[in-house]
Amino acid sequence: MATDWNALTAEEDRAYFMAGIVEISPESFTLEEKQEILRDMVAASAAIENAMRDDFARFDEVTQTRLIDALAGAGPRHRDWRHRMLVAGPRHRDTITI
């Protein structure tokens, strides 16, 4: 089954948009509403990370290694961090890793 990245990113955008509104006008929200918005932010970001790990797991080991090496060379994160993020540990996590 293909990952619906548009739906995942739209949900994350919505959650972070609501957080931005809270930041602008915190008095307009109850504590419970603020907590729910925070939970939505964490859940939406965790869903994206989990889907990313699911997609990554579909690659064979050689392709995974090459991709991790390429990503490590292209940004500020080192190879060990990329491996921990994409391969090590449970594939599905309840909190944000990034």
In the predicted structure, residue 75 carries a pLDDT above the cut 80:
no
Contacts of residues 61-68 at CB distance under 8 Å and 24 or more positions apart, as own/partner, are none
Neighbours of 39 (CB within 10 A): 11
- pTM higher than 0.85, yes or no? no
pLDDT value at position 25?
Answer: 97
**Higher local confidence (pLDDT), 98 or 52:** 52
In the predicted structure, residue 19 carries a pLDDT above the cut 80:
yes
44-72: buried (b, 16+ CB within 10 Å) or exposed (e) per residue? bbbebbbbbbeebeeeeeeebeeebeebb
